[in-house]
Chains A and B, each alone.
Chain A
Amino acid sequence: MPVVMAADQVARTVTRIAHEIVERSRTLDDLALVGIRTRGVPIARRLSAVLHDITGASVPTGVLDITLYRDDLMRHPVGPQPVLRKTEIEFSIDDRRILLVDDVLYTGRTIRAALDALIDFGRPRSIELVVLVDRGHRELPIKADYVGKNLPTSLRQSVRVRLEEVEGVDEVVLEDAPEG
């Protein structure tokens, strides 16, 4: 199992993305971060912390659970439902610039669901996408605005992002999984 990003690399990447965000923003006043459960949430929180360190601005951070918007929900013949957890966006997203944050960008279906979910909360001025890893193989016309690492993969492989807050360790691992 090759480790494609180790802990220090994950940290540097998050810092670099935060700098890119500052670089491309005239102001951070209208910015908000929304992390997609599960691992987009800690990444969004870390970005918010780094943004605070760099600029002193506190960027509001929300949590989005996309379960109720998934396009594969009712299609499995049998099997458990994905566990639903709370969405917590405690600020108005109207007229804000939203940075949607996720760990891995793959087919784009999660992001499609997240866009639908977000738009139910209001009308943001813009939505941009931040991902730690882009592994390719898009099935929808979606692209990321901020990418931590472009990682060429085959369909048989899977990308595991492990984070301190969830798994107790920061790393990105490329696995050869038999099932797609």
Chain B
Amino acid sequence: MLPRADGTRHDAGIPLTEGRGSSGVPPVFGTPAGLRAKDLLSIGDLSADEIQLILDTAEAMKEVGTRTIKKVPTLRGKTVVNLFFEASTRTRASFEIAEKRLSADTLNVTTAASSVAKGETLADTVRNLEAMAPDVIVLRHASAGAGHLAARLCRARVINAGDGMHEHPTQALLDALTIRQRKGKVKGLQVSIIGDLLHSRVLRSNVLLLRALGAEVCTCGPATLMLPDMARLGVRATTSIDEAVEDADVIMLLRIQLERMRGYFFPSLREYFQQFGMTAARLRRAKPDVIIMHPGPMNRGVEIASDVADGPYSVILEQVANGVAVRMAVLYLLAGARHE
């Protein structure tokens, strides 16, 4: 299909300013039943009410996955493009299953098999896909802000499925759903996030979300992998894993991201495991009802010992299951109403 028959520009109606969302921009929808922003790029664009709406919707979506026929006709006729410039198993599979359960037509574009391999820029790829009039683009890219760029270039709604070291909003949402399911609430809980803080988009989205919902957050990792200004977000930081484990209701482990490390942050993976790896022995200091989370993929024997990953406190596979419901909720809330 060639450019739109109605002659409108691809970016028609979308303000070209940054920071759409949380402040300054009046809400498009008057009631909490809708999301104000056109896209889901950052947890920072969502109000606490909007986060709760997504979680409540996801809670209802879970039922669809328990049926014999796991499909509802809601997004019939909608086209969703999954545009993945970075490797992904969980997130991509999860989005695709969510799209299919809602009856959307899906298209997967991955770097290796696309013109990106021939040197096409992100902007050109997005513009060309936009010309085929998709309703939603799910984008994963190695650069922070890739989603923001794409959102400015197209009328399709953009869902950030991970942009560099910036954010991974749907991961934080599924983590929150898992916590809420296990603990009945998020507010007031002690959440310790341990691992490679510096390179983690999961951390950034989770901190924003957990703070918005009123949880206390403690971050822990080697000094070389700390983020400098966490105190500004009301987040505690420590290099002592025992301190992080004690009193925690939720322990979230982050993957050591060797592929993003340019330089030496710690002497060896074995030393990291000795200092910061989550082991059954360390876990003895934790609350008896603590839950262990990991966004995956896990490095067993690096940030988490195998017996902890597969142990009774682990809710890691629940997180994966909740991922589908959260993505169904986001797709439903975004792809439903047109934004013009």
List A residues at the B interface (Cβ < 8 Å): 65, 68-69, 73-74, 76-88, 116-117, 120-122
Contacts and interface: CB of A to CB of B under 8 A. Distances in A.
Contacts of A69: 72-74
A74 B74 CA distance: 8
Interface stretch (B29-37, B203-211, B214-222): B29-37
B67 interface: yes
B34 A80 contact: yes
Contact of A78 (B32, B75, B77, B338): B338
B333 A81 contact: yes
Nearest to A71: B73
Given A68-B64, A122-B68, A81 B338 contact: no
Given A68-B64, A68-B102, 15 more contacts: A74-B336, A74-B337, A77-B337, A78-B28, A79-B29, A80-B30, A81-B336, A81-B337, A82-B33, A84-B60, A84-B61, A116-B73, A117-B72, A121-B67, A121-B68
A115 B57 CA distance: 22
B340 A77 contact: yes
Interface string B300-339: 0000000000000000000000000000010011011111
B97 to A, nearest CB: 16
Contact of A84 (B29, B57, B67, B68): B57
Interface in B246-288: none
Contacts of B61: 84
Contacts of A83: 33, 53, 56-57
**Chain A interface SS verdict (over half):** loop
Given A77-B338, A80-B34, A81-B337, A68 B77 contact: no
Contact of A74 (B28, B29, B31, B77): B77
B63 A88 contact: yes
Kindly state the interface size class of chain B when it binds its partner. 35 or more
B10 interface: no
Contacts of A84: 56-57, 60-61, 329, 332
A65 B57 CA distance: 12
Interface in B30-87: 30-34, 53, 56-57, 59-61, 63-64, 67-69, 71-75, 77-78
B139 to A, nearest CB: 22
A68 B337 contact: no
Nearest to A94: B68
Given A80-B29, A86-B59, A73 B74 contact: yes
Contacts of A74: 75, 77-78, 335-337
A68 B340 contact: no
Contacts of B340: 77-78
Interface string B208-242: 00000000000000000000000000000000000
A120 B71 contact: yes
A36 to B, nearest CB: 15
7 contacts: A77-B337, A80-B33, A81-B332, A81-B337, A84-B60, A84-B329, A116-B73
A125 to B, nearest CB: 18
Contacts of B333: 81
A88 B63 CA distance: 8
A73 B53 CA distance: 17
Nearest to A80: B34
A86 B63 contact: yes
A120 B340 CA distance: 34
B219 to A, nearest CB: 34
A81 B102 CA distance: 15
A74 B78 CA distance: 9
B49 to A, nearest CB: 12
A77 B336 CA distance: 10
A20 to B, nearest CB: 32
A34 to B, nearest CB: 14
A78 B329 CA distance: 18
Contacts of B77: 74
Nearest to B336: A81
Given A68-B74, A74-B78, A88-B63, A80 B31 contact: yes
